Amino acid sequence: MGFLIKYNLKQNFQSLTLKSYQEIIKSKDNSIWYDEDLKGQKVYRRNIDNTNLLVFGDLVNESKATELSTWIKESKGNYIVIKEESTKIEIVSSMFSILPIFYEIEDDVLWVSDRLEYIINANVKQRDWSNIHLLERLLFNYTLTNRTYYDSISQLDVHTILTLSAKGMDFTKHTDIFKLYKQNPNSIIKSKKKIVASFEDTVKSYLVSEPYAVAFTGGFDGRCIVAASLKYNKNFLSYSFGSSKSMDVYIPKSIATRLKINYRFINLDDDYVNNTFEGHAREIVSASGGMATFSRAHYHFGAEKLGEEFNYLLSGNFGSELFRSAHLDGVMTTDLLYVWIKDGLPKNWTKFIKEYPRFKFLKANEFETPYNELAIELNNLRKDLPDIPLNAKLYYFLWSQTLRNYFGAELVMQQKQIIHRSPFLDFDFFVLLQNTQFSGAYGNFREKNLIKRLKGQLFYAYYLKRTNKSLFREITGKGYKPSDILSPVGLLRMVIAKGLKKKIVVDDSDPLNVNRSFKKVEDKIVNRAKNYFENYFHYLPSEDDRHFKTILSLSIFLDGQQKKVKIKNGEKN
């Protein structure tokens, strides 16, 4: 995607004038520029009752509502919409705000864009570096607030409309998904037929008539999209990427061969490791505004390959985030996220470092004050969360912030090559899901019981049983089949699943060849990171520490920000 708005907050209200990128920089008028050449972004123009709608992204279907908050809820897809009336302009991202909107104010001029780089390159100046945002990334892997790496640039809050009028600018929250929580949701047995039938209708509306690609791995989510594509006799290519020994290659490839499903293995081979990885790593880090790490380079590589043949990619993204029982530390749920939701962060830096000594690589003179400010802010935010069970608080917060701040970077990056559709995040389906115990929100906080955690996979089993019995009976990367979940005998299979997995694959320790790829460029990037952060860190974390990838990815981002950000280091950027 790509658009840029320049708006003078002190002038009398004016509509936006379409200009070129260079013109908008020099113009004193309220102006807009947008890129019509991105393959993964469509531009829709509508005029309804003297109201202009400009939509960037992918509209799966379109509402006839005139009220913007209603229009957003009823119009499916990932997009950003700008609504112009005679007295105001409204700007908002689609439901869950997966596509970001950034803004900056300087000398009463507001800059708005979906990409940090457009604001930075248009409003040229040296910006202050945000230590608090860096700290958030290190603690949680992503931001829990609306900060960016630049103190002066913010991200529009989730489910929020930015309004420009003669009164200036205003922010209006159009949806609060916490209110969807139900005290007594319908049981799984009572609601299974309705929820499965609903998803059948939902996914059908996201399928296209032209040939398209479907992500097919060893998991459950993509398998459901493959099953739907087979059910409706669509012309599609299933694919997965990784090393030849990856479970996410071995399993779908074996299934596709047995069931005669059109499948392609996108090989992250020696050529990718030696010649391709670094370029895609730098591109995804840059395109995401530093929000993505280099370990996701394969998404950019895969989108580029698939975009040569297809206009659309469908994936099972967001599926497991809706259903599963979160209990482990991971990229989306770090141990500190669980701590914050349950008890709040330690109130000061001294207490924090004592309880979490792994962060001793941070220099206190740079991070003590930012940490203390962040702890107050996040602990106040936690107090403001609704009085609902702990697990529900976790999930509704994840759905509000984590989905957009983690997955948004991936979708934005892929828009240069292909349109990415994710049926599981359909808002109508999401609302219906919250009425049932299928939702991940209804369960125990950090559930330890394996059998109880199976609730998070029951939907897939019921859906596949109804939609495609062959895929229902095929093994997954978990070491068991969806059919096992609904069978007493299958439960025994699940107990010994780890042993089964060892028999399925020989080596799945580096399935996407991230470690091998990084070794080729490690010295160069590590040296850059040491130079950038010599005044921030006592030392770099070890390679097996997740903070290592975050820091090195950030150094890749800073390589492209020379003279644009003020950071304390020897290079005086």
At residue 501, does pLDDT exceed 60? no
439-494 pLDDT, tens per residue? 999 999 999 988 888 899 999 999 999 999 999 999 998 888 999 999 988 878 77
Q: How confident is the model at residue 333 (pLDDT cuts 50, 70, 90)?
A: confident
Q: Between 561 and 174, whose confidence is greater?
A: 174
Q: Between 513 and 49, whose confidence is greater?
A: 513
Q: Are 349 and 364 in contact (CB under 8 A)?
A: yes
Residue 174 sits at the vertex; the CA angle it makes with 172 and 178, to the nearest 5 degrees, is 120
Instruction: Give percent above pLDDT 70 in the chain.
Output: 96
Give φ, ψ of 214 to 5 degrees: -130, 125
256-277 pLDDT, tens per residue? 999 999 999 999 999 999 999 9
DSSP β-ladder status, 42-48 and 51-59:
antiparallel
Q: Specify the pLDDT at position 572.
A: 36
What DSSP character marks residue 541?
A: P
At residue 121, does pLDDT exceed 50? yes
Beta carbons within 8 Å of 509's beta carbon, 6+ residues apart: none
Q: Is 64 exposed, middle or buried (0-12, 13-18, 19+ CB in 10 A)?
A: exposed
At residue 331, does pLDDT exceed 90? no
What DSSP character marks residue 401?
A: I
3-state secondary structure (DSSP) of residue 7: strand
Mean pLDDT of 289-299: 88
Q: Specify the pLDDT at position 27.
A: 87
Closest CA to 102 of 11, 4, 26: 4
User: What is the value of pTM for the model shown?
Assistant: 0.94
The mean of the pLDDT values for the chain is: 91
What DSSP character marks residue 537?
A: B
List of domains in the chain: 3-127+152-175 (3.60.20.10), 186-327+402-504 (3.40.50.620), 520-566 (no CATH)
Q: Specify the pLDDT at position 521.
A: 85
Q: Specify the pLDDT at position 483.
A: 95
Instruction: Give percent above pLDDT 90 in the chain.
Output: 68
Q: Between 428 and 568, whose confidence is greater?
A: 428
Q: How far apart are CA 85 and CA 90, in angstroms?
A: 9
Q: How confident is the model at residue 48 (pLDDT cuts 50, 70, 90)?
A: confident
Residue with tokens 């520029």: 33
383-419 pLDDT, tens per residue? 999 999 999 999 999 999 988 988 888 888 888 899 9
Q: Specify the pLDDT at position 290.
A: 85
Q: Specify the pLDDT at position 570.
A: 39
Q: Specify the pLDDT at position 289.
A: 83
Mean pLDDT of 66-71: 92
Q: How far apart are CA 469 and CA 58, in angstroms?
A: 32
